[in-house]
Amino acid sequence: MTRLPILSAAALFLSGIAQAATSGPSFDCAAAKTSTERAICADPKLAAQDREVARLYRQVLTQAGPDVAALAGEQRRWLATRDHLCQGPAKPTSPLTVGWSTEAECLSQTMILRQAALTALSEGEDNPSLCHRASTTLTLARTADDAPLQIPLDRQMIAAGLVFPAPEEKLSPAWRHRLPATAVQRRGDAIAIIPFGASHVAVTATGGTANCVSVTAFPLDANGKAGPALPRPENRPQPYCWTETVGFGTDGSGRPLFFTQNADSVRSEAGPERSTLFIRLAGKSRWGDSCNIEVTYQAAFRLGEGSCTASAPVCQALREAAPGWAATVGASPWAKAGPFHPAGGPAYPALSNLTPQEMDGAGPEGTYDVPDFPGWHYRGFLAFEMSSPLMTWQSQDGPLTVRVAPGTLGWRVGAMILGVWRQQGDSLIPVAGYVIDRVRIGHPSIKTVSAVQAD
Q: Element (H or E) spanning 103, and its range?
A: helix 103-123
Q: Please report the pLDDT score of residue 200 as a whole number.
A: 97
How would residue 290 be classed by pLDDT, with cut points 50, 70 and 90?
confident
pLDDT exceeds 90 at position 89: no
* pTM (two decimals): 0.85
Q: Please report the pLDDT score of residue 5 as a whole number.
A: 29
Whether the Cβ atoms of residue 184 and residue 171 lie closer than 8 Å to each other: yes
Phi, psi of 200 (to 5 degrees): -145, 155
The CA distance from 168 to 106, in Å, is 23
Contacts of 374-377 spanning 24+ positions with Cβ under 8 A: 374/307, 375/307, 375/309, 376/306, 376/307, 376/430, 376/433, 377/305, 377/307
pLDDT exceeds 80 at position 408: no
How would residue 425 be classed by pLDDT, with cut points 50, 70 and 90?
confident
Mean pLDDT of 18-37: 76
Mean pLDDT of 8-16: 35
How would residue 15 be classed by pLDDT, with cut points 50, 70 and 90?
very low
Whether the Cβ atoms of residue 163 and residue 251 lie closer than 8 Å to each other: yes
Whether the Cβ atoms of residue 427 and residue 365 lie closer than 8 Å to each other: yes
Give the tens place of pLDDT for each residue, 303-333: 988 889 999 999 999 999 999 999 999 999 9
Question: Burial code of 74-93, b = ≥16 C-beta within 10 A, e = fewer?
Answer: bbeebbebbeebbeeebbbe
DSSP assignment of 197-234: TTTEEEEEEEETTTTEEEEEEEEB-TTS-B-SPPPPTT
Instruction: List residues bridging with 245 in a β-sheet.
Output: 261
Query: Residue 259, Cβ neighbours under 10 Å: how many?
Result: 24
Whether the Cβ atoms of residue 313 and residue 298 lie closer than 8 Å to each other: no
Q: Please report the pLDDT score of residue 9 as a whole number.
A: 31
Q: Please report the pLDDT score of residue 219 as a whole number.
A: 96
How would residue 91 be classed by pLDDT, with cut points 50, 70 and 90?
very low
Whether the Cβ atoms of residue 387 and residue 363 lie closer than 8 Å to each other: no
Give the tens place of pLDDT for each residue, 200-252: 999 998 876 567 888 999 999 999 999 999 998 887 778 888 778 899 999 98
Mean pLDDT of 179-187: 82
Give the tens place of pLDDT for each residue, 327-349: 999 999 988 887 777 777 889 99
pLDDT exceeds 90 at position 352: yes
The CA distance from 328 to 405, in Å, is 11
Q: Please report the pLDDT score of residue 166 as a whole number.
A: 96
Instruction: List residues bridging with 400 in a β-sheet.
Output: 393
How would residue 26 be classed by pLDDT, with cut points 50, 70 and 90?
confident
Q: Which residue has the higher pLDDT, 92 or 268?
A: 268
pLDDT exceeds 50 at position 163: yes
Pairing of strands 427-450, 398-409: unpaired
How would residue 12 be classed by pLDDT, with cut points 50, 70 and 90?
very low
The CA distance from 159 to 154, in Å, is 9
pLDDT exceeds 80 at position 369: no
Q: Please report the pLDDT score of residue 124 as a whole number.
A: 63
The CA distance from 277 to 76, in Å, is 25
Mean pLDDT of 416-436: 88
**What dihedral do alpha carbons 192, 198, 199, 203 form, nearest 10°?**
0
Q: Please report the pLDDT score of residue 187 as a whole number.
A: 62
Pairing of strands 398-409, 244-251: unpaired
The CA distance from 111 to 157, in Å, is 12
SS3 408: strand
- According to DSSP, residue 29 is labeled G
Q: Please report the pLDDT score of residue 18 as a whole number.
A: 41
Give the orientation angle of helix 103-123 with respect to helix 153-160, to 10 degrees.
Answer: 80
How would residue 8 be classed by pLDDT, with cut points 50, 70 and 90?
very low
Mean pLDDT of 400-405: 92
* Mean pLDDT rounded to a whole number for the chain: 83
Q: Please report the pLDDT score of residue 65 as a whole number.
A: 82
Taking CA atoms, 129 is separated from 79, 125, 154, 252, 288, in Å, by 22, 9, 17, 11, 12
Whether the Cβ atoms of residue 250 and residue 197 lie closer than 8 Å to each other: yes
Query: Residue 284, Cβ neighbours under 10 Å: how many?
Result: 13
DSSP assignment of 232-289: PTTS-SS-B-TTEEEEEEEETT--EEEEEEEES-SS--SS-EEEEEEEEEE-SSSEEE
The CA distance from 125 to 133, in Å, is 10
